[in-house]
Amino acid sequence: MYNEENRKAFIEGLHNGIPIGLGYLAVAFSLGIMARSVNITPIQSMLASCFCLASAGEFAGFTLIGAQASLWEMAFATFIINLRYLLMSTALSQRLDPQTSIAQRILVGYGVTDEIFGISIARKGTLNPYFSYGAMAFAIPMWTIGTGIGCFAGDIMPARIVSALSVALFGMFIAIVIPPTKGNKVMTGVVGISFAASFAMATLPFTAAISGGTRILILTVVISAIAAFLFPINKDEQQ
């Protein structure tokens, strides 16, 4: 039921979602140019971004389309690359009120991206789903529109300028991850170890061949499990 509490949560989510949406607009622009390079139309690219809110997943999908891969290959690659969102959705589901309906949970799950997950999981206490809805209300349209605009401009802008726009995604994600580590030595250590482990897996010969999505999944499960085992949160801290 939409009440005053939900309205405030929605507005707060919308406020937090504005910088994310602006970042999405820039990143999706370069994704749209990539889509155009494999002869995908602006409408098709916008539909892809509307139903697959993942830059890596869409980039892989567009690349496979350009390589004329089969539907099964595209489905499998997208599944593996986006598998980390299953972990994020599971984590968010534990933060929702037990009375939250299935329909609301599905809607929250649909809008799970790295950045929206970051601002949602960082909230203290029980997560009001309307906070996620507010963030989605601006971020998702910007992601979709940005892809379409980029697709229109695919043959106009120089490649170097387009490549530079992709840096926005990494800067935005760092801005979400770093602030919560202030004053929390455990979280600071986990983030530092995660950066080092990610770099190591991306450069070592026997792990570099693993896809980026699979590496993220492995690191997320292993590091979070070790951190949870060594530094459990007691009930008083959780409350």
Task: Over range 130-138, report the average pLDDT.
Answer: 93
Distance CA 205, CA 135 (A): 39
- Exposed/middle/buried for residue 5 (C-beta within 10 Å: 0-12, 13-18, 19+): exposed
Distance CA 194, CA 173 (A): 14
The pLDDT value recorded for residue 148 is: 92
State whether the Cα torsion 165-116-48-86 is positive or negative. Answer: positive
* Structure-token match 């950045």, residue found: 115
The pLDDT value recorded for residue 169 is: 53
**Contacts of residue 3, Cβ cutoff 8 Å, sequence gap at least 6:** none
Give the CA distances from residue 224 to residues 97, 125, 207, 221, in Å, rounded to whole numbers and listed in that order: 23, 20, 19, 6
Residue 71 has pLDDT above 70, yes or no: yes
Distance CA 82, CA 212 (A): 10
The pLDDT value recorded for residue 233 is: 66
Q: What 3-state DSSP class applies to 97?
A: coil
Distance CA 175, CA 178 (A): 6
- Residue 209 per-residue DSSP state: T
Give the tens place of pLDDT for each residue, 136-169.
Answer: 999 999 999 999 998 888 767 776 765 665 565 5
- 96 bridge partner residues: 127
Residue 130 has pLDDT above 90, yes or no: yes
Residue 119 has pLDDT above 60, yes or no: yes
Listed residue (212, 160, 197) closest to 55, CA to CA:
212
Residue pair 120/131 in contact (Cβ under 8 Å)? The answer is yes
Residue 14 has pLDDT above 70, yes or no: yes
The pLDDT value recorded for residue 43 is: 92
Give the tens place of pLDDT for each residue, 75-98.
Answer: 877 887 788 888 888 888 888 888
Q: Give 103's Cβ-side CA count (13 Å radius).
A: 1
Query: Which pTM was predicted?
Result: 0.69
Angle, CA 41 vertex, CA 66 and CA 82 arms, to 5°: 55
Interhelix angle 4-37/167-177, rounded to 10 degrees, is: 150
113: left (phi over 0), alpha (psi -120 to 50) or beta: beta
Task: Return the higher-pLDDT residue of 58 and 134.
Answer: 134
The pLDDT value recorded for residue 212 is: 66
Task: Over range 191-204, report the average pLDDT.
Answer: 90
Give the tens place of pLDDT for each residue, 27-39.
Answer: 888 788 888 878 8
